[in-house]
Chains A and B, each alone.
Chain A
Amino acid sequence: MRIRIFVNSHYICNWHHIMSQEIIEKLKQQIEGYKEKPEWEEIGKIIEVGDGIVKISGLSNCQSQEVLVIESEKGEVRAVALNLEEDSVGALVLGRDARSAREAGDPVLESSLIKSGQTVKRTLRHSSGQANILSIPVGGQLLGRVVDPLGNALDGKGPIFSERDKPAIQFLESTAPNVLARESVNQPIHTGIKAIDSMIPIGRGQRELVIGDRQTGKTAIALDMIINQGKERQSSSAKPPSHKATEGQRASEGRGNPVVCIYVAIGQKESKIAKIVETLKNNNALDYTIVVSASASSPAAFWYLAPFAGCAIGEYFRDKGKDALIIYDDLSKHAWAYRQISLLLRRPPGREAYPGDIFYLHSRLLERAAKLNKENGGGSLTAIPIIETQLGDVTAYIPTNVISITDGQIYLESDLFYQGTRPAVNVGLSVSRVGGAAQTKAMKKVAGKLRLQLAQFRELQTFVQFASDVDQETREKIHKGRIVSEVLKQTDLAPMPFEEQVLVLYAALNGYFDKFQPEEIQKVEAKFLEYVKDLHEDILDLLKEKRDITEEVESKIKSVIYKFIENM
């Protein structure tokens, strides 16, 4: 026994010795093979350090948005130039390179490493010798990953790009496509939410704002949208569109074209982001989704950069001719971060202490969402910004700004939410200015009257509250209104395919559900869909294929609904 231990330990010692020799040899080779060409570097000196902000003298050739490197005691810290003044530069600290910080193994905050008097260097691109403008590596490898606004992985699944990959470099700030490169919005992007797809349709390349107080289900709508993209893809790949449809038709309907989703979390709790990632994973939605996370604990610089990073990733897919969907959750926090940075940079404050260019900040971000024409690949980037209002005040500065920038808004109300109308969409205040052109014909025909009917119902309902006696006709109208509002209710994480929505809405709006009580509607709807799926699946396929309600389809739908009602 003793001998064995001796042998073992001897072996281990020997092995260690060999290993360390090998490592030293390798290091030697690396160092010997290393050739350095020192070049003239442009430098400046830090003259002031603030909360995440540094003021630098010198650097006279520095460009806006250029990455600078501060030589601190513990390695290099990166910063990005924002203010270019006559003899100084105001820069935003980005932090150490994630890798070097991890290797150093110390959790010291970057801000405490930076001291006045330290040297700051410009970083030039080795390949072109041009200024290194803030950019992020992008590629298909990002799908299914959680990254920070600088493109570093946060999900512990290792590096995103391998040594061999040559990811495209996309600038965080880039100009939006011009008029000639664009096309009007003409393809729908289905959210899977009945109230939205029927009354506030969203098209690919549109910018639709989701606005509401805290806890009104804004993020839930966004998540439903992401999950529904996966479901649409599944159903379209399982049953390819018929060969009769021409290529053009298929393209114009946007079928079989998977939508890449990007979820940008700005200033949210890490726990909430983790929950969202988990939800996406459980619903098989993470495979086609990228999460850009700037959590509550990350510096304001990250909050400010996150939407631009997400947009840069979205643009990559858009320019490749793919369809992408980006959700900015939420832009109010983004505005706060930008206000903080601007005030620290001593830019003059304006209304609500926001800087003068806060409108431009959001408009240039959202302008990058576009539908490109065929010559430019035909890709699209749909933007869904989210704004959180305080006590329903939509007249505050940021909400009005973003409302005016976007092509419509989905307005969520806490009163409706607590009444049990979920999603709590206020139909009267929600609009989609361009989505109508993209809505499928089938949905347009079915839901054309829906908005008007609901508005009439709301009016009657408030009127009837004060009247004791109501005539038969009014009572019927109210009953019908209740049924329709009941049909529009939907639980979260249960997006509904568009053809099922069409069927349900057709039945409800044409009075087939009138004989039921409003309380029963949810159950009736579920049974109806089950019935159709089990016995008349052909009608769903027909709707999916034609995307229109022709006379032939309508008669089929009528007979199916009639049979179902009879059996109930």
Chain B
Amino acid sequence: MLIDKKSKEVFDNFIKLLERNGDLKKAKEIIQLAEKLYLKKVGSKKVTLESARKINSKDILKKILKEGDFWEEKINTDLIAGIKVIVDGEKQLNYSLKSKLDKIFSHRYE
């Protein structure tokens, strides 16, 4: 991703601020929170698509994503087959074979 000059300046200043306040250790959390706040402000979401192997995800993403949404793809072999969609790290839709098998063989929580 290309970063324009203004954004670069903002980032540099931000890093400097963190360094000055001794908050560099918490940078990861701060960036996550900033991302969360930004998404909330803009009104879009971040979608993570997990699958057991590389798949053609265009069709699926087309159905889920709106304009301005961010997305990321991950390979998670634990799923065995199928996909798992995670939105904003708070909601998930588990379409994997692993969860199906787990549900068949384990006791339901009720």
Partners in one complex: yes
Binding site for B on A (CB under 8 A): 30-31, 34, 36, 38-45, 57-60, 67, 69, 75-76, 78, 87, 97, 99-100, 119, 121, 123, 125-127, 132
From B92, B103, B104, B110, give the contact of A41 (CB < 8 A): B92
Residues of B bordering A, CB below 8 Å: 33, 86, 89-95, 99-100, 102-104, 106-110
Of A30, A75, A87, A119, the contact of B102 (CB 8 Å cutoff): A75
**A38 to B94 Cα, complex, angstroms:** 6
Does B93 lie within 8 Å of A99, measured CB to CB? no
A43: which B residues are within 8 A, CB to CB?
86, 89-92
Tell me, in angstroms, the Cα distance from A59 to B89 when the chains sit together.
Answer: 9
Chain B's nearest CB lies how many Å from the CB of A396?
40
Cα–Cα, bound, A407→B91 (Å): 49
CB nearest neighbor in A for B78 = A73
Chain A residues within 8 Å of B106, by CB: 75-76, 97, 100
Interface residue from B86, B90, B103, B110 paired with A36 (Cβ < 8 Å):
B103
Given contacts A30-B104, A34-B104, contact A41 B89 (CB under 8 A): no
Bound CA–CA A100/B104 (angstroms) = 12
A38 to B102, CA, bound (A): 13
Note all chain A residues with C-beta closer than 8 A to B92: 40-41, 43, 119, 121
Asked, given contacts A30-B104, A76-B102, whether A38 binds B93 with beta carbons under 8 Å apart, the answer is yes
Distance, CA A44 to CA B92, complexed state (A): 10
Distance between A144 CB and nearest chain B CB, rounded to angstroms: 24
- By a CB distance below 8 angstroms, the chain B residues around A58 are 89-90
A residues in contact with B103, CB < 8 Å: 36
B84 to chain A, nearest CB (A): 9
Query: Would you give the shortest CB distance from B70 to chain A, in whole angstroms?
Result: 17
Known: A30-B104, A76-B102. A40 touches B91 (CB 8 A): yes
Q: With A43-B90, A60-B90 known to touch, is A38 a contact of B110 (CB < 8 Å)?
A: no
User: Measured between alpha carbons, how far is A40 from B91 in the docked complex, in Å?
Assistant: 6
The minimal Cβ–Cβ distance linking A348 to chain B, given in whole angstroms, is 23
In the bound complex, residues from chain A placing their C-beta under 8 Å from that of B102 are: 75-76
Q: Which of B91, B94, B109 contacts A69 (CB 8 A)?
A: B109
Does the CB pair B107–A41 fall under 8 Å?
no
Q: How far is the CB of B35 from chain A (nearest CB, A)?
A: 13
Indicate if the CB atoms of A123 and B109 lie closer than 8 Å.
Answer: yes
A-B contact pairs, 25 of them (CB 8 A): A30-B104, A31-B104, A36-B103, A40-B92, A40-B93, A41-B93, A41-B94, A42-B91, A43-B89, A43-B91, A44-B90, A60-B90, A67-B109, A69-B109, A76-B102, A76-B106, A87-B33, A97-B107, A100-B106, A100-B107, A119-B92, A121-B92, A123-B109, A126-B108, A132-B110
Say whether, besides A97-B107, A99-B107, A100-B107, A38 and B95 are in contact (CB < 8 Å): yes
Q: By the criterion CB–CB under 8 Å, are B100 and A36 in contact?
A: yes
> Considering the chains assembled together, what is the distance between the CA atoms of A125 and B109 in angstroms?
8
Residues of B within 8 A of A39 (CB): 93
CA distance A45 to B90 in the complex (A): 9
Q: A126's contact among B90, B94, B104, B110, by CB below 8 Å, is which?
A: B110
How far, in whole Å, are A257 and B5 apart by their CA atoms in the complex?
85
Contacts of B89 in A (CB 8 A): 43, 45, 57-58
- Across the interface, name the chain B residue whose C-beta is closest to A119: B92
Pairs A-B, 7 closest by C-beta atoms: A123-B109, A43-B92, A58-B90, A41-B92, A40-B91, A99-B107, A38-B95
How far is it, in angstroms, between the C-alpha of A100 and the C-alpha of B93 when the chains are bound?
24
User: Chain A residues near B100 (CB, 8 Å)?
Assistant: 34, 36
With a cutoff of 8 Å between Cβ atoms, the chain B residues found around residue A132 in the complex are 109-110
